[in-house]
Copies of this chain bind each other. A is one copy, B any other.
Amino acid sequence: MNQFIYAADLFGTVVFAISGALAAGRLRMDPFGVLVLAGVTAVGGGTVRDAILGATPVFWVTDTLYVWLIGLTATLVMLLVRCPRRLSGKWFQVADAIGLAVFTVIGAQKALAFGASPIIAVMMGTMTGVMGGMIRDVLCREVPLVLRTEIYATACIAGGILYTGALALQLDAVLAAIIAMIGTLVLRLFGIFSGLSLPAFALDNRPKG
């Protein structure tokens, strides 16, 4: 794997682990809970992706650097963070957006490497980006935020389409990855700074059945 993408992947892992650890702190979990939520947020999406593709043992079993980083991140968050508001400002969302962009491209790459078609690559990219946060929310007994609001998953879908589209146009794989990451990032940043959301599909009547 390209060294730059690997470094960006580790960066995204740390950012996502922080977001999981903070969610655990808000529910007053014990240190094990903090570890679990940091872990599922950071590598939950990639784990489900690998299980679906049959890419087992999953990536963090083979490369344990992810696991060490998550443990270190969770520990530092517990020791150092007292005021989570500082970690939920715009700059943290920008860091999260970078992680999202990298995860999306890595997920799409891996699907293609396993012979999947473009639509599956888009799905796997999106899954890698958003499913960790979804599992975190379910463990916190919340309807996953990503299903309800903001331009988040949409940025992943667009990034996956950019990536597979660029490859279909015979672009160089590294160039395609860069285009897709920038596309995901820009769209997500637009979502953060504009505050816009997609319109909800709202059914008012709860059916009896």
This protein's copies in its complex:
3
The answer on a CB contact under 8 Å between B22 and A203 is: yes
Q: Does A17 touch B at the CB level, under 8 Å?
A: no
The answer on a CB contact under 8 Å between B200 and A28 is: yes
**Among B25, B29, B120, B134, contact of A61 (Cβ-Cβ < 8 Å):** B120
The answer on a CB contact under 8 Å between B200 and A57 is: no
A80, chain B: closest CB distance, angstroms? 11
The answer on a CB contact under 8 Å between A57 and B47 is: no
Assembly CA distance A32 to B205 (angstroms): 21
Residues of chain B lying within 8 A (CB to CB) of residue A25: 201-203
Q: Which residues of A contact B (CB under 8 A)?
A: 21-22, 24-34, 36-37, 47, 51-54, 56-58, 60-61, 64, 67-68, 77-78, 81-85, 87-89, 92-93, 111, 114-117, 119-120, 123, 134, 138-144, 146-150, 152-154, 157, 197-203, 205-209
Some 11 contacts from A to B, beta carbons below 8 A apart, are A26-B203, A27-B148, A28-B201, A29-B147, A29-B200, A31-B199, A47-B52, A53-B61, A54-B54, A57-B114, A85-B205
